[in-house]
Amino acid sequence: MNYRGRFAPSPSGPLHFGSLVAAMGSYLDARNRQGKWVIRIENIDPPREVTGASGRILRTLESLGFEWDEPVLYQSTRHAAYQDAISDLRNKALLYECCCSRSEIQERGRVGSEGIIYPGTCRTRVKPPTVKGSGRRHALRLITHDQTVAFTDGIRGTLSQNIVREIGDFIIKRADGHFAYQLAVVVDDAYQDITDVVRGADLLTSTPRQIYLQRLLGLSTPSYKHLPLVTDKSGRKLSKQHRSDPINAAAPVVALLAALKFLNQPLPPETPGTVAEFWEWAIAQWNHSLINNKNCTI
């Protein structure tokens, strides 16, 4: 199949250095293989969305010389597809309603690598979980089975996870009515025919859940490469919510060179005069096996 890559930012703030690294890694990997590259704005979480952030991210990418091959896909337009996937899982008897509060889960669950492992309280609940007038709403959880999901990451090697033991039945639709990231990302990677996902290592432990869902929904699994995370001096991941500095689009080549250096790629012998010159060099030189497989501080 022809290579199709993507960059999928959440519009929770402006593009910062960590997201530039993810955008660049996915772009170079696609262009080096003469592939297509698309952008998907992951705006399924209105409470975390910052007004104007999508437009700002796209304008910054444009001024950095990124070129996308298709109109941007917004997850806010994809609710019917997520609902169809939910119906499919429901027909397969793989979903149940969960009315546990965060504190109930905390009290009963063990701590896993991704937070508390859901203890399965509502999986076997016999009586309907709603107490009329209690105001508490349900989340939808996926029934997970005792199965190890293994995959080979192009940068990190082979990884495996037993979902039921390490994560537990996970949320597909949240109690506030919003679709869960794990569901939306799987439905849309398939919809956009993505063959190669290149993204930050913060999503490494989400990948087995995504592969698990792909199998249940009969979707194909792309190849994955997880880039080193950019952390600040205290070891915390740079993130839009923590108000990491936005990229300075007024000095695009400087920002691009810093990201290329972070990805441990060869740097041009002379500073490129334009973003086009930068990309010409970076695309031709791209070699993903040079990337560090550890998180790095900037």
Strands 230-231 and 296-297: parallel
**Distance of closest approach, residue 176 Cβ to ligand GLU, in angstroms:** 18
Asked if 222 touches ligand GLU (CB under 6 A), the answer is no
Asked if 9 touches ligand GLU (CB under 6 A), the answer is yes
Asked if 57 touches ligand GLU (CB under 6 A), the answer is no
| Interface segment toward ligand GLU; rule CB under 6 A; list 6-14, 55-63, 218-226, 269-277 | 6-14
Tell which one of 203, 230, 238, 255 touches ligand GLU (CB under 6 A): 203
DSSP-assigned letters across all residues of 53-78: HHHHHHHHHHHTT---SSPPEEGGG-
In angstroms, rounded to a whole number, what is the distance separating the alpha carbons of residues 288 and 170?
Answer: 32
In angstroms, rounded to a whole number, what is the distance separating the alpha carbons of residues 17 and 4?
Answer: 23
Helix residue ranges per DSSP H, 33-162: 53-63, 79-91, 102-108
In angstroms, rounded to a whole number, what is the distance separating the alpha carbons of residues 282 and 24?
Answer: 10
Asked if 42 touches ligand GLU (CB under 6 A), the answer is yes
DSSP-assigned letters across all residues of 2-42: --EEEE---SSS--BHHHHHHHHHHHHHHHHTT-EEEEEE-
Asked if 185 touches ligand GLU (CB under 6 A), the answer is yes
| Interface segment toward ligand GLU; rule CB under 6 A; list 3-11, 89-97, 98-106, 216-224 | 3-11
* Pick 173 or 240: Cβ nearer ligand GLU: 240
Asked if 140 touches ligand GLU (CB under 6 A), the answer is no
Q: What is the DSSP letter of 119?
A: -
Asked if 199 touches ligand GLU (CB under 6 A), the answer is yes
**Distance of closest approach, residue 185 Cβ to ligand GLU, in angstroms:** 5
Q: Which of 233, 211, 231, 238 is nearest to 222 (CA)?
A: 211
Asked if 204 touches ligand GLU (CB under 6 A), the answer is no
**Distance of closest approach, residue 25 Cβ to ligand GLU, in angstroms:** 11
**Distance of closest approach, residue 203 Cβ to ligand GLU, in angstroms:** 5
In angstroms, rounded to a whole number, what is the distance separating the alpha carbons of residues 100 and 174?
Answer: 12
Tell which one of 5, 8, 156, 208 touches ligand GLU (CB under 6 A): 8
Rama region for 35: left / alpha / beta (φ>0; ψ in -120 to 50; rest): beta
Asked if 13 touches ligand GLU (CB under 6 A), the answer is no
Interface residues with ligand GLU (CB under 6 A) are 8-10, 42, 185, 199, 203
